[in-house]
Structure 1
């Protein structure tokens, strides 16, 4: 089928782009039954025929649709009695590389070699006998091919083609023998063809500019456009933009601006550029904006604004709450506050007092993390404070005295702080604005050697800090012991529900101490 592609090749030119070919051909087989490649000693010579339609793409390439049909017979010389007869059709699409492309040979050379390659479908009904068994196979499989040909130009429109091609269908069922020595598909065919190709068309002036296409160096010029002797549109100012596309035909300009000048090279024509001698932005009619805030430098009262910051009509950063801290630096852009507090409202002295007094009003059941009802009013007041300061987060830190085991005290302090947090969450305080932790007995504020000091050390502290800033409890006391440390408590040690029990020395009878009393 490659062979038929050949006939359609070289009669075609830019003037005659479509060609039809008719050819006769001769198939030869190679497969598991044997081969007759390059051997025409067979007494019964059978030929086939084909046709091609091709289209000129460029001086170097054509594209072709090929078809070929032949009945082919073969008798094995390897195994007596093995034979097959196949009615073979091939339909392929090929790309031809022409050597008469003006670089290797002249385009109008009389002898025009070429190569072609492509692929398509191999269509066969094959009958015969293989390995002592009769067979009938109907085959519809893809194939690839490669072709070498020579075209002899007889005239501008007619040529003779001689080609040889090899076809490689993706099947072994033509001869019904399988298992080639190298485990590859083994049925292959050579196709030798001779044909005549006729190209249609005549020399034209496709763009109707008065210059023939062969001489036209600018084919495709729009109708009615004035051209020079080479068929190219006139360009009075010599800027490379033809007059019919040049918005400024009498002044040398740039192609990107349809032939109009641009002194500062900013992509805005001088006629439309409000700053024609300084490169700027098209969106600002050619004027510069050094800080990229959308306000021209001449009108910008706040040059150097950081990239991406929203500005007002004068180029200054927005300050929605008018507190003198621009929104991009303001942690609380909708609530006025001093720059010293990052633009957020400061906590009132009266509020700080309420937070401090709250510590004295939080009480729990004996030796437990269960809040007493007397604590509820204070926690509700703290929830009201959180609503009053929406830009702040609350830290709740639990502490104990030194009675009992360290790990027990740590767990109890954590659980009591968590209980206070849980109650405040029930008062609609957002979970991401309240944090609890426990320090156990590690951060006393009074002497644990006295009952009064122990009472002061048993406490839950409440502090506000700007959301995103360091936790206030951690600022005061450092990092709290982690939950993972609590989980390492040995089995059998007391938890928040009971005070630890201490045993007497082993030599004495076990003695129990009364539970540690704490409030």
Structure 2
């Protein structure tokens, strides 16, 4: 696998030198990236559930964190391209249907090696959308897939899209359904979907003089020129012979030996760092409007004096709390200097959080929430967002009904469920921790119904 990574880096260095690309001039393309395999499609018994696990990455997808596929492509004319893809993976999750039911279970077959070699033809719909950066496509073909020492041929089909970030480089994504014709219960290679994500480079064209005109169309391929003259140069026609012209390619007056001074500041353009704006010699011909010693073109605040350490701008304090943004851990929320610009969590805030926490309702004997609890959790989330650097401990407690072991597990799971909800809704996980105390820390008697209700609770503590 490490050799594939080295090959990928080498391709970036080599192909990155080619700065122009067009389909007709660059018929070849190579792609590298990662792939994921899921057989949820093949395990489904009803069409309505065929794509049920498509986006369940953690549950159903097999992914290795490395370059795990490579594709070489050749445009064969029009919108058609042929592809050859090789891929590897590690199968740690297989989705199977429980016999006699419509339920599924995910099992680990023992880290099986997955190898695939596929060929196909792809049709681009870029012309249909009228863009040069968004390229959806459809593809079909066949291949052969091995899972450990067992292999089978597949009939393939799928969809893809490439986002061209530059003329010759893009981000590619595609999903391919691989169909085998074996009985699903006895298949050596089950039907499955393989997803691909990677970087694609086009290449094959040649432009020696880098003037944007490919050699095959360039009448002067060794010297950069104009498109209107088929790539050949044009003298500046300023009335001064090129041999006597210090600027043979730019028209200028005899006063400056043929060199222009566009901004009229007495500094010829080739020596002027700001040839279109009058400036001063000490600044290389550039202006310094605010007089802070930083030329305007490098000054992010040319009208207001500021230190060079902040690119000529005064230090900002976005939240007006007296702590500069550069030193403020919470630049968008007013805080205190003692807390490095972040708001401090007061006892009133903690009381409000715990008032909400004690109203969280779980389904009986479970860590899942009742529907009426969701607004409570949302209100807690908003408070956590107001204190982006504060850390909190979520603690779960139960009454004394049931065994100590079950109560301990239930309290841990309920505290973890609250943390998971907050993380899924944008709160950083490193700000939260969860723990359970079971029935060991009652706040009321477990001998009454009301006391038990108080003991079944979630509490929030500030981590200092």
Which of the five TM-score ranges fits, normalised by the shorter chain? 0.3 to 0.5
Larger Rg: 1
| TM-score, length basis structure 2 | 0.34
Between structures 1 and 2, the one with greater helix share: 2
